[in-house]
Chain A
Amino acid sequence: MNAPEMTSTRPTELPSSRTSANLRKRQAAQKFGFGLLWLASLVVILILLVVVGYVFLTGFKSLSWEFLTTAPKGGLSGEGGISTTILTTIYLVGLILVIAAPLGIGAAIFLIEYQEQTKTGGKFLRGLLQAANFGVETLAGIPSIIFGLFGYALFVSTLKFGFSLLSAGLAGACLVLPTIIRTTQEALLTVPVSLREGSLALGATRWQTISKVVLPAAIPGIITGIMLSVGRIISETAVFYVTLGGSYRLPNSLLSGGRTLSLHLYYLAMDTNAFEKAMGTGAVLIVSIILINLVIDLISRKLSAGVRQNQ
């Protein structure tokens, strides 16, 4: 720069032509940057639309009330509808949540709320807690087929539950436990320390503080975690392929096998020539996932409104 030496403390004024040229350049750069970001989001939306649109357009013909309410009849041409697979999916979601939600929420509460107590406590407990946290992190990153093989080895063969709702429920619970634990942990951490202190200072026990103040404030986040798990279960194929069997009949007990929607889609696409029905099933799956995401969105909006109020 060859600006004249400053003689006063007042900043020297830049010549106006220079400022405006500079401004034009900066604004052009901003337009270019925003343009790129815009393009990126456009591509993402386009990809999504193409996938969903393709599934809907191909599956559209097979979609009908009858398709949803009749049982599949099997065979190479994939006769029938998808009613039993919808019911099996619902059964399995219910079973997995009954197993995984209490375990996951309980573990998360312990890991967060009693952590500081163990810092002053024994070395053994502290080690255990660290191991548990590390375990949750690791489990969350494991490919689902490994949960499937584990479920197959332990529940299907060793414990002799066979290909059944029970085997699939237990393996599926292992699959979603990390999700439930982590979302619950995050929900608990968003509850301000000041609320815990306020409760303890009134002579509440630790447990009263958790059950009456911390958990109610964290519930929207916990529900979000559970809804995420529901989505995960509905869209999961690998785990149930090796634990639930493939019968298209409705399971009549915990020990009988079945087919979830996404498994059914897989079988239709691989073993029959009813490609349109596979796509119709895919359309049903996509709609249910969209509905679940809408619910999550609604809940988290409510949650963030609550947090804002608190600040």
Chain B
Amino acid sequence: MNAIKLETNAYSLFYGKFRALEDISLKIPEKQVTAIIGPSGCGKSTFLRTFNRMNDLIPGVRTEGQALLDGEDIFSMDVVALRQRVGMVFQKPNPFPKSIYDNVAYGPRVNGIRDKKALDEIVETSLRGAALWDEVKDNLGKSGLALSGGQQQRLCIARALAVRPSVILMDEPAASLDPIATQRIEELIRQLVEEYTIVIVTHNMQQAGRVSDYTAFFFTDESRTGKLVEFNLTRKIFTNPQDKRTEDYITGRFG
């Protein structure tokens, strides 16, 4: 197993008095794809949003336990610095209403890079990294909103790469895409994992099976509190699950 990139220890999250996540301890290895699967409402996305502290935006959220990036406490870091190290791709493509170039250059610019040459280079590298360069290189001034859904999502990936993070969080990145666009995103994820640690939340178990090295299965009962049931190599989870609930879920008996 690779070095540990992200880690939670006895981590719980509350919305006011409601406990949304309970006692989750998980070690996410570096430069691997880790999939988080589980039924709706089991806290997968909430857990993912722990690592770039997107939950900070929601009033009344409180956490217990530890969350670490490279062994450092996430909650005592400066949140802006944390988000430069941990990028995110959302469920619905959300390019800014700006040109393709400005979308990709946004992250470097807010981080203070002004030099045109440096920006040009970052934009090209990032778009190449997201397998979008060849399709848009002659139209960098075109609005990001004019692209197709799949292209928009790859633009959002390029935008995340431009900040040079070491971790990329993906919250159901293909949920709003057609099968062909989905396939391109999945291929891209396999390329990106050469350099990045990727954590992906997905509803689609086949997708988890195709793209991930490790899988974490989250589950919830009537209490609506999300818990980690099982974490292992993806191939072990899918062929030889240790927990009955994991087996029921991946064989499609519910969810």
Binding site for B on A (CB under 8 A): 116, 119-120, 192, 194-195, 197-205, 208, 212-213, 216-217, 306, 309-310
Q: Which residues of B contact A119 (CB under 8 A)?
A: 59-60
Per-residue A-contact encoding for B37-74, CB less than 8 Å = 1, 0 else:
00000000000000010100111100000000000000
Q: Which residues of A contact B111 (CB under 8 A)?
A: 203
The answer to whether B107 and A203 have CB atoms under 8 Å apart is yes
In the complex, 12 of the A-B residue pairs with CB atoms within 8 angstroms, ordered by the A residue number, are: A116-B59, A119-B60, A192-B94, A194-B94, A200-B57, A201-B83, A201-B87, A201-B160, A202-B110, A203-B81, A204-B106, A208-B110
The answer to whether A203 and B80 have CB atoms under 8 Å apart is yes
Beyond contacts A198-B90, A200-B54, A203-B81: 19 other A-B pairs, Cβ-Cβ < 8 A, are: A119-B60, A192-B94, A195-B94, A197-B54, A197-B90, A198-B96, A198-B159, A199-B96, A199-B106, A202-B87, A202-B163, A203-B80, A204-B106, A204-B107, A204-B110, A205-B110, A306-B97, A309-B97, A309-B143
Residue of A nearest to B102 (CB): A212
CB of B136 within 8 Å of the partner chain:
no
- A195–B156 CA distance with the chains assembled, in angstroms: 11
Q: Which residues of B contact A309 (CB under 8 A)?
A: 97, 143, 145
Q: Which residues of A contact B156 (CB under 8 A)?
A: 198
Binding site for A on B (CB under 8 A): 52, 54, 57-60, 80-81, 83-84, 87-88, 90, 92, 94-97, 106-107, 110-111, 143, 145, 156, 159-160, 163
Q: Which residues of B contact A306 (CB under 8 A)?
A: 97
Residue of B nearest to A206 (CB): B80
The answer to whether B106 and A212 have CB atoms under 8 Å apart is yes
The answer to whether B54 and A203 have CB atoms under 8 Å apart is no
- A46–B20 CA distance with the chains assembled, in angstroms: 60
- A198–B159 CA distance with the chains assembled, in angstroms: 9
Q: Which residues of A contact B110 (CB under 8 A)?
A: 199, 202-205, 208, 212
Q: Which residues of A contact B145 (CB under 8 A)?
A: 309-310
A56 smallest CB distance to B (angstroms): 42
Q: Which 3 A-B pairs have the closest CB atoms?
A: A203-B84, A119-B59, A194-B94
The answer to whether A202 and B97 have CB atoms under 8 Å apart is no
A131 smallest CB distance to B (angstroms): 19
The answer to whether B97 and A197 have CB atoms under 8 Å apart is no
